[in-house]
Amino acid sequence: MGAIRKPPRRQLPGPVQWMRENLFSSLFNSILTVVAIVLIYQTVVPFVGWAIVNAAWSGQGREACLPYADGACWPFIIERSGQIVYGFYEQAERWRVDVVFMLLGIGLAWLMMPRLPAKGAVGVVMLTVFPVAAFVLLVGGMGLPPVPVERWGGLMITLVVAVTGIVASLPLGILLALGRRSELPVVRGLSIAFIELWRGVPLITVLFMAANMLPLFMPDGMTINKLLSALIAVALFSSAYMAEVVRGGLQAVGKGQYEAAAALGLGYWRSMLFVILPQALRLCLPNIVGNFIGLMKDTSLVSIIGFLDLLGIIQSGNADADWATPNTAMTGYVFLGAVFWVICYSMSRYARALETKLQGGDAR
Amino acid sequence: MARPPAHRGRGARPRDVLYQALLLGAVAAVIAGMAWNASHALERQNIASGFGFLDNTAGFDIVQTLVAYDETATYGRVLLVGILNTLLVAVTGVVVATVLGLVIGIGQLSSNWLFARLCRAYVEILRNIPLLLQLFFWYFAVLRALPGPRESWSFLGSAFLNNRGLYLPKPLTGPGFEMVVLALGVGLIAAAILAHVRRRQREETGRAGPVLLPVLGLSLLPPLVALALAQFPVSFSWPALAGFDFEGGFTVLPELIALVVALSTYTASYIAEIVRAGIQGVPKGQIEASQALGLKRGEALRLVIIPQALRQIIPPLTSQYLNLTKNSSLAVAIAYPDLVSVFAGTTLNQTGQAIEIIAITMAVYLTFSLLTSAAMNAYNRRIALTER
């Protein structure tokens, strides 16, 4: 019969205690904290000052920015916003680009939101009907006046390159991955050669090849559109990377699944299509999204071969004498960096969420 | 690697042989068709084919060359200059990126809340912005905005940074310097032998003799003695402002600075993630076991954690090194004279021999890739788990 001992009350750490534990637990730790504070102070404070406090926010032309010597020149971005989104696409026809953006947005949102049904059907529509519709809308035809590719630019061409690369590289990459794991020596050899060739060289040489060599390979009298040859280059290049991602997924599917498919009497193509690939693709979905992020960033390379994509438009603005201020270049890059960062970071968060979801599914 | 057992031995069936023959035929036909079209197109445009152009005079100058080069040199020489300039960027970038990535990767796991957040922010910001954009940022927005030569930033009065580049003192060697190099070589060999002997000793007897100090002494003392004996045959050419520009010392091009900074900070964000994953991948039991054995924190890190983390780090690290080398081709966008810029750019435009030049360029990068992965695979085999 003793007094009931109460467990010691767990004390919630106060701010001082928290700081002592997490910031100043040892001499080295304290030094790190001071270094971190100095680094943050040296970067964040001047950046906020430049981007917000000291920046020019309104006005017309470079005169609006010149008085703000230590601040961003936002009127540059505001005035160029049309070009940044549409390039030099005809004003009257820009609604067509908007429709394509909207279709793409709806399709992607549908695929990414976990609650919505019929993901498979929507996916197939996005991979088949959507590209055709987008092609007709952007290029013209079926009653729509044609818009030459030379007038395309900005966000629109960036998305055209990225989406084409993604849509084309997925089926090509799956075929190549299957080829690389094939028992047929010729198929395997050709697949390995193709994959390793593209993975071993920089994208810029592939784009140079498309610009300089593809026209030579065409039959007499047949010319190839400059944008199309760049798209082919991006598709070939990214399909090699996609093949390696899919191969990882194929390897992660258990041996028993292959055996079970064989035991059911399924042939090679049926067992792949109905048993192996659905599991493999699910397993490597996070890595596929990771690949898309890489592709999205790589699209900026088309500005080197003369396309006015997002980066190309910003570069041409920097070279424009009408906007010659000390802060134009920095403003353009910071703005574009923010745009790319939002797109790529949200994709990577999505990939991370997918990964945890898939792992959770395995644990059941 | 689980191969589908049901399809084992397919290669021998007649149907499979037929399919493969058809595939091979189709690929050959496409390639032959393209070659046929290309030869016609070249004939029409009066462009010679073959690699004879490599012996022709280039006739253009290159701002940075690591070997002797002038306008009368051949296109073959241009190729060499380009390859060396690419290697310079790649090697410098790999070293800087590895150091930076290591620090930030370990920093992400730091028990210091603020520092860990800072490292995390670095990784998430840098790797979600296109490298080309970052390169333009460093080159056009940062380096171009530096003051001119007269208002250069000075570091201790001996190095200067301005919008034309970085000016560093250049070491000049006098007579007797060969002796120093020789002494250094002898010292290094002696140190390597000692390290090897000590390791054998430790493995056989289990007793560890002193290693670090003797090795340092053996490798550093001989060259220092030789330096003193030869009365310090090293002098420096110091950069100094003369008129509107600097003279003396040597100049690092702003293009090179921008390229190395952009490549290494960008790649460091990937390496940091690899390092973090590698360290986190070491099972907790290993760390607890090392504590149970009474190892100190440093010893546990050096003898237990790092060797195991390395096994997970090396393969993805290899592909990051390769990516950095391939990404160095973005040099063409800021006119740094790398392989793509001077060879697949200027030379191609002058000669028009697209097929040969692109093929050579791609072959060079493929060789880099194969050599790097071969070297890293050999290293990986050495440190891989030896299972009994």
pLDDT of residue A164 exceeding 70, the answer is yes
Residue A348's closest chain B neighbor by CA? B128
- The residue-averaged pLDDT of B85-92 equals 94
Do B182 and B81 reside in the same domain of the chain?
no
Domain count, chain B: 2
Is A209 within 8 Å of B4 when comparing Cβ atoms? no
Do B313 and B376 reside in the same domain of the chain?
yes
Mutate to test the interface with A, among B114, B126, B263, B321 (most CBs of A within 10 A): B114
How far apart are the CA of A117 and the nearest CA of chain B, in angstroms? 31
Q: DSSP strand E in B147-305: where?
A: 153-155, 159-162, 165-168, 170-173, 234-237, 240-242, 245-247, 250-252
Do B137 and B269 reside in the same domain of the chain?
yes
Tokens of A35: 């270094």
ipTM confidence = 0.88
Average the pLDDT over each of A117-121, A258-262, A290-294 and give the range with the smallest value.
Answer: A117-121
Burial label, A136 (beta-carbon count in 10 A; 0-12, 13-18, 19+):
middle
Share above pLDDT 70 across residues of chain B, in percent, rounded to a whole number:
95
pLDDT digits (tens, 9 = 90+) for A171-186: 999 999 999 988 888 8
pTM of this prediction?
A: 0.86
What is residue A203's predicted lDDT score, i.e. its pLDDT?
A: 93
pLDDT of residue A194 exceeding 80, the answer is yes
pLDDT digits (tens, 9 = 90+) for A81-101: 888 888 888 888 888 888 888
In chain A, which residues have their Cβ closer than 8 Å to the Cβ of B355? 213, 216
* Closest Cβ–Cβ partner in A32, A35, A268 for B7: A268
Is A208 within 8 Å of B111 when comparing Cβ atoms? no
* Closest Cβ–Cβ partner in A25, A39, A276 for B118: A39
Q: How far is CA B269 from CA A91, A151, A193, B122, in A?
A: 41, 36, 30, 7
How far apart are the CA of B227 and the nearest CA of chain A, in angstroms? 38
How far apart are the CA of A5 and the nearest CA of chain B, in angstroms? 33
Share above pLDDT 90 across residues of chain A, in percent, rounded to a whole number:
21
Range of the domain at B268: 75-152+241-383
- The residue-averaged pLDDT of A322-346 equals 90
- The residue-averaged pLDDT of B42-67 equals 80
pLDDT of residue B206 exceeding 90, the answer is no
pLDDT of residue B2 exceeding 50, the answer is no
pLDDT digits (tens, 9 = 90+) for B344-381: 888 888 888 888 899 999 999 999 988 887 887 788 77
For residue A213, the SS3 value is coil
Q: How confident is the model at residue B129 (pLDDT cuts 50, 70, 90)?
A: very high
Q: How far apart are CA A71 and CA A229, in angstroms?
A: 41
- The mean of the pLDDT values for chain B is 84
Q: DSSP strand E in chain B: where?
A: 153-155, 159-162, 165-168, 170-173, 234-237, 240-242, 245-247, 250-252
Is B112 within 8 Å of A29 when comparing Cβ atoms? yes
CATH number at residue B310: 1.10.3720.10
Share above pLDDT 90 across residues of chain B, in percent, rounded to a whole number:
28
Do B88 and B215 reside in the same domain of the chain?
no
pLDDT of residue A223 exceeding 50, the answer is yes
pLDDT of residue A7 exceeding 70, the answer is no
Do B131 and B261 reside in the same domain of the chain?
yes
pLDDT of residue A38 exceeding 60, the answer is yes
Do B279 and B214 reside in the same domain of the chain?
no
Chain A contact present for B12, CB below 8 A: no
Q: How confident is the model at residue A1 (pLDDT cuts 50, 70, 90)?
A: very low
Do B144 and B283 reside in the same domain of the chain?
yes
In chain B, which residues have their Cβ closer than 8 Å to the Cβ of A268? 4, 7
pLDDT of residue A2 exceeding 60, the answer is no
What is residue A8's predicted lDDT score, i.e. its pLDDT?
A: 66
* Closest Cβ–Cβ partner in B113, B129, B362 for A205: B362
Does the residue B336 lie in any domain? yes
Average the pLDDT over each of A13-17, A93-97, B194-198, B291-295 and give the range with the smallest value.
Answer: A13-17
What is residue A63's predicted lDDT score, i.e. its pLDDT?
A: 83
Does the residue B291 lie in any domain? yes
Q: Please indicate whether residue A152 or residue B174 has the higher confidence score (pLDDT).
A: A152
* Closest Cβ–Cβ partner in A40, A185, A216 for B37: A216
pLDDT of residue B10 exceeding 60, the answer is no
Chain B contact present for A282, CB below 8 A: no
The domain boundary, picked from B165, B197, B229, lies at B229
Burial label, B364 (beta-carbon count in 10 A; 0-12, 13-18, 19+):
buried
Do B370 and B275 reside in the same domain of the chain?
yes
Chain A contact present for B151, CB below 8 A: no
In chain A, which residues have their Cβ closer than 8 Å to the Cβ of B118? 36, 39-40
Q: How confident is the model at residue B120 (pLDDT cuts 50, 70, 90)?
A: very high
Do B277 and B337 reside in the same domain of the chain?
yes
Place of tokens 């300089």: A212
* Closest Cβ–Cβ partner in B11, B118, B141 for A333: B141
In chain B, which residues have their Cβ closer than 8 Å to the Cβ of A23? 112-114
How far apart are the CA of A213 and the nearest CA of chain B, in angstroms? 6
